Chain A
Amino acid sequence: MPSSATSAPASAPSRAPLVRDRECAVAGVSAGLARHLGAPLWAVRALFVVLTLCGGAGLLLYSWFWVFMPWGEGEESPSRRMPVAWMLLVVAGLGALGVLSGAVGGYWIGGSASPSAAAVVIGATSACATAAGLWATLIDRTDPARGPRHAMIVRVLAVLLLAGVFGVLLVRPGTAPAVALVLLPLAGLLAVLSSTLVHRWRELAGERVRRIREEQRSEMAAHLHDSVLQTLALIQNRAGASSEAARLARAQERELRAWLYDGDAPADSDLPTDLRDYAGALELDYPVRIDVVSAGLSAERASGGLAAAAREAMLNASRHAGGEISVYIEGSAAGVDVFVRDRGPGFALDDVPGDRLGVRESIIGRMRRSGGSGSVRSDENGTEVHLHLPVGGETRV
């Protein structure tokens, strides 16, 4: 018995988990169960069929597994090999033909066929057509191999079949039990038509949830702006620009601000964003305050030689000068300019030993290789590094 096998203690740790494949025939129940039990697939299927013949027990068991067995690992929505909707539709079509021929021939009205047989045919036809329509709408719609177009076709055919059966029964009302049967295809018709509303309703609910989430987020942003950001500003204000507390507060403020307002910003950052992030990292490591200002186009990518040179200049300024550092990025149609200015004691470029790579190689050399230029101006009031990259300069990197 499958039920006793599934409830057995986990004596065999190698046993495969009881899950349904995402690539399955109908629901993945038999395949999953066969794998779990280590039994051949055909045996499991045969078992279900045999049990179904025992008063429909197999059907119940199958449904029970269908509901409670989880899908296997994976992201994609499940795909089914068997065209269940079409098979149901074909059965319904045959049934409808039977109903039509019966009505036209009038053999059950004439008494040649029993009313119960007619009821079975009509009931099965209606049930199959309804099931086809529902299956297509509720299950096949998310199937990557089928999709909404397929669902629409099946639904239209199912509706036509049901309407046809309904029409035939209206035109040729039979004996008393057949009158009650007229309502059967009508009910199926309503079920198929209303199933489309389920999808619509789901979409609507999802939209509502999104909106509520967005509202909550902006409410929270407003609250944090009023309380936490103000407090962080105050901490910076009171603790002095380059103290440890102020730097931490500033880093926190930047992070919070990015989380609050940038939201779904593209991951591929531009130069100002990248330098701003880098400034935040530097502020944590060195006693500096870096103000990054940008104007004009920000089309420059953060990956090129210009960005690397600018980062190096910022690092130099943080390491040797400290205090307040200004970074200004200007992007125009002619090119991109970056200025990094500090208030340190300054240095003479010629005094720097030739083996020190910092300024000469990492900044000026790198800019030259990128097709731009770099210059350093330093006096007792501080140092300013100017990087310039003309449009089209970055091609040789």
Chain B
Amino acid sequence: MSESIRVVIVDDHSIFRSGLRADLDASVDVVGEAADVPSAIDVIRETVPDVVLLDVHLPGGPAHRPADARSALAATTGPEATGGEAVIRGSQPTVSRFLALSVSDAAEDVVRVIRAGARGYITKGSSGGEVSRAVHAVAGGDAVFSPRLAGFVLDAFGAVSGETAIAQDELDRLSAREQEVMRLIARGYAYKEVAAELFISIKTVETHVSAVLRKLQLSSRHELTVWASERRLL
């Protein structure tokens, strides 16, 4: 096992923070906690963790920030940004990676946080082991896609209706291979199983997933946001 991963937990519920802290593997070292947007940004600046476990919904959004930061935040996120999104944007530039945690499966919120720069998304019902594995994956530079997020992504990129990217650098659509990978993840396959199914290496699967994540973050696709706000899954 490599050296332990330094983690900051950002969640406004102390019960949840302590519960998660107790549940995480020994290989994960919690170096800080924060309960709202401003303190989260401060803690992240101070400790520079490897991974930030970030609740999607946080109190103390842009309105509570000091004036200079507020204007910058408002410009990038808009007034209705969820707390998690504000933390990611507010702590840039940083080497820390973000993993979104949420009880809310509203597609809109999840897509917003991913687009702001989170490297993955898992639900709060996940066990400590699952969270630890996800933390390791994110720390290693990989993206963590839950089946649900994969479903969102397929939907948002219009993959189901048959839109396929032809050029390699096309940002608004997924390539055929990326669609296959996303579909298998949505069906509940682990990366290893996806690799076996498609006769490719795990590394290649991770590359595809990272490419999808990059497209999700960079694509200017208008429908992505419209779709997310129109649709209320669960």
Contacts and interface: CB of A to CB of B under 8 A. Distances in A.
Interface of A: 225-226, 229-234, 236-238, 240-241, 246, 250, 253, 257, 261, 276, 291, 293-297, 324-326, 328, 330-333, 339, 341, 381, 384
A328 B125 contact: no
B9 interface: no
A250 B127 CA distance: 13
B187 A339 contact: yes
A226 B13 CA distance: 8
A381 B189 CA distance: 11
A240 B162 contact: no
B124 A296 contact: no
Contacts of B125: 233, 236-237, 246, 250, 253
15 contacts: A225-B103, A229-B103, A230-B16, A233-B103, A236-B125, A238-B19, A276-B234, A293-B186, A295-B151, A295-B154, A326-B147, A328-B147, A328-B183, A330-B183, A333-B162
Bin chain B's interface residue count.
35 or more
Given A229-B103, A234-B13, A261-B232, 14 more contacts: A226-B57, A233-B123, A234-B16, A238-B19, A238-B23, A253-B125, A257-B234, A261-B234, A291-B147, A294-B233, A326-B188, A328-B151, A328-B183, A332-B162
Contacts of A238: 19, 23
A384 B196 CA distance: 15
A273 B104 CA distance: 17
Contacts of B32: none
Per DSSP, chain A at the interface is mixed
Interface in B167-210: 183, 186-189, 193
5 pairs of A and B residues whose beta carbons are closest in the complex: A326-B188, A296-B160, A233-B124, A293-B151, A236-B125
B23 A237 contact: yes
Nearest to A384: B187
B150 to A, nearest CB: 7
A325 B19 CA distance: 25
Nearest to B147: A293
A226 B56 CA distance: 12
A331 B103 contact: no
B142 interface: no
B151 A233 contact: no
B28 interface: no
Contacts of A250: 125
B20 interface: yes
Contacts of A225: 57, 103-104
Contact of B154 (A226, A325, A330, A333): A330
A234 B104 contact: no
Nearest to B124: A233
B131 to A, nearest CB: 8
A291 to B, nearest CB: 6
Nearest to B233: A294
Q: Which of A293, A297, A332 has the most CB of B within 10 A?
A: A293
